């Protein structure tokens, strides 16, 4: 099982994710995504982290499935459209330890 973090940022400061975002993500997961659990890290902020646990065969597959689930959720729920996906990766740093300041790979 892999833990993959969705690092999200709202285009406007002071926004927080909808309370039912985990339900939206679960509803948008296909069986092939192997989603087992979703946890929303509770800080009310324009920067949020959601943890998805997936039972995929490999890490790259888990990261790709997480990004697909997010894209489906955004397409399904207009409340998520102003949230930018910054990362869909296995956490190597704590989410509150400068993760958003890491450079993006090109």
Residue pLDDT, tens place only, 68-82: 999 999 999 999 999
Q: Are the CB atoms for 4 and 63 separated by under 8 Å?
A: yes
Residue 34 lies in a domain: yes
Residue 97 lies in a domain: no
pTM: 0.82
Instruction: Please count the residues of the chain.
Output: 106
Task: Give the pLDDT confidence of 10-61 residue by residue, as tens digits.
Answer: 887 767 889 899 999 999 999 999 999 999 886 666 788 999 999 999 999 9
Question: Is residue 106 pLDDT above 50, yes or no?
Answer: no
In which element (H, E) is residue 54 found? strand 47-54
Residue 101 lies in a domain: no
Q: Write down the mean pLDDT value for the chain.
A: 86
Domain containing residue 75: CATH number? 3.30.70.420
Report the number of distinct structural domains present in the chain: 1
Three-state helix/strand/coil letters over 61-75 = HHHHHHHHHHHHHHH
Can you give the residue range of the structural domain that contains 78? 2-92
């Amino acid at each position: 099982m892999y833990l993959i973090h969705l690092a999200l940022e709202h285009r406007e400061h002071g926004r927080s994710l909808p309370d039912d975002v985990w339900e939206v993500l679960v509803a948008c997961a296909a069986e092939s995504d192997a989603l087992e659990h979703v946890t929303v890290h509770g800080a009310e902020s324009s920067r949020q982290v959601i943890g998805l646990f997936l039972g995929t065969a490999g890490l790259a597959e888990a990261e790709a499935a997480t990004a697909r689930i997010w894209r489906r959720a955004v397409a399904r729920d207009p409340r998520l459209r102003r949230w930018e996906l910054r990362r869909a990766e296995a956490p190597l740093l704590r989410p509150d330890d400068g993760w958003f300041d890491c450079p993006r790979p090109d």
